[in-house]
Amino acid sequence: MIDEFAPVGTIADLFDPEPATWGLRGDPYVWRSLRTMLAKRVLPTSERDLVEILRSSFRWTTGNDLQDQTTDRIYREELARGGMSSGQVDLEIWRNVLLPLLVERWRILAPTPVQLVQQPIQAVQ
C-alpha cells in the first residue's frame, strides 16, 4: 500500500540551500557530508524519525552525540582545512540552529492530511 501522505524526495533535499552563516569552520563540511550521506534516504513520514536519522548520521560523521551536553564544540582532524577554527564543529549551532532548520524544512515538504470541512447540504431545487 502506498502512503499517500509520505513526503516526496530525499533527506538530502533538506540541505539545500546551505545556511548563510555557520558557527565554526568545520560546520559546512559536516553539512555537506550529511547531505551526501543522506542523498538516497527517502524523507521519513514522521518528525521523530527524521530527528533520529539526523542525530545518528551526525554521530556517525563526527563521532559525537548531539544530545551530549558536556561540550559545545569538537575538533575533527579530517575537517581541518586551515584557519583559526579549522576542523572545529559548533555543537550548539547544530543543536539550536542547523538541526531545527532541517526539521522546519521537512515540515514544509511533509504533506498533511486534508482536513475535511463539513458543508451544509443544500436542497435540490
- Which comes out higher in pLDDT, residue 68 or 53? 53
Q: Is the pTM of this model over 0.75?
A: yes
Q: Which three cell numbers stand for residue 86?
A: 579549522
pLDDT, averaged across the chain: 83
Q: What is the pLDDT at residue 91? A: 95
Tell me the C-alpha to C-alpha distance, in Å, between residue 111 and each of 1, 7, 46, 106, 118: 17, 6, 11, 10, 21
